[in-house]
Amino acid sequence: MKSKTIVLLSFLMIIATTIPSCIDLVEAEYSFEDNVIFIDAYALTEVGTSTVTISRSRWDGISYSVILVPNARVALENTDTGLTIDFAADITGVYVGPADFVVEEGEVWKLYIELEDGRKFESKPETVKATIPIDEIKSDYSPELVYNTAQEKFVPGHRISIDWQDPAGEANYYLWKYKTFEPLYVCKTCVKGIYRNGACQPPPNNFGPPYYDYLCDPTCWQIKYEEKTIIFEDRLSDGVAITDKEIVLLPYNRKEDILIEIQQLSLNESGYNYFKIIDDQVSASGGLNAPPAAPLLGNLFNPDDLTEIVLGQFTAAGVSSKFIFIDRSNIQEDPIRPDDPIVVEPCASCPQSFPCEESSTRTSVEPEGWQ
């Protein structure tokens, strides 16, 4: 699971400057703020899905950015048993637990963080909800999937949906996350230049094509994530078999095959309400740049300074994952944004490749389910 969702990080650009408590949703004025902490944390029931991302805002009066926070001490505590699990940063800067770490239904966990500057953050206790499994994941192709305003026409693509059985007699709240994997052939492009000594440089005599490409080595996959918050509550569908729930529309941008993995999280009501704020904000404003109707505060706080703004959420949940591989070789329509022609330097001694560097958006590890 990608620990820092892009949708949540975008809300750091506009934040509340007057917050009377660390968890209340109140009216506030909005402005850019420097050094505001954002925490996006998950303790889940599948191996390899529990992650913690810590970011902070950076505002110098001119430009605004969000950067990952390194060298933090991160731990989860089982409040019933006292067991503490330490998390460490991986190569991408995301904090992960031991390779075999999972949480179990009914357990109660808290998150603890200490930054290099001594600031401490923790979460309220969160109880792990039972996993509700995805029964089936489906892909349906349409030559006219969605209207593309830039091209002023309908474009082709795949509609991805799922089926599952909602448990009867209880309130259930769902969050869906997904990521896609596509082959990536070019890992470095030098525009009006050549790659030498670790950087793009002007070509000799300023002669050459508009760009040179350097092929990925080893084999590489590009990773993309959900672009919106996808939530659901079963108030009107308690205990029924839910079929054909649309999760995402995937436009046919490239000819390459694609793998999509969907995760279905079982939330508690407070977690659902947090993610609903995000969904309502995006739906109401038509984008992520308008000030949120309420500060985006979850269950996290600084125990030493309750007035400090801490954005984000610690989610302890059951999770069910399924993936589907989509073979695009028989599609007759042209892709919407085909890859540019690959141009390599025409000499044996010239660099031909660039490392597939592990990150949140690239991997050289073949994804499970790739065919």
Instruction: Give which of 176, 223, 110 is closest to 320, Cα–Cα.
Output: 176
Digit-coded pLDDT (tens) for 50-77: 999 999 888 877 787 888 999 999 999 9
Q: Are 90 and 107 in contact (CB under 8 A)?
A: no
Mean pLDDT confidence for 165-186: 97
- What's the half-sphere exposure (Cβ side, CA atoms, 13 Å) at 109? 27
Beta bridge partners, 154, equal 147
- pTM, rounded to two decimals: 0.84
Q: How far is CA 324 from CA 1, 256, 321, in A?
A: 16, 15, 11
In the chain, % of residues over pLDDT 70: 87
Strands (E), 64-172: 64-68, 73-78, 84-89, 95-96, 108-114, 120-123, 126-127, 134-148, 153-165
Sign of CA dihedral 326, 224, 97, 276: negative
pLDDT tens digits along 293-319: 455 678 999 999 998 888 999 999 999
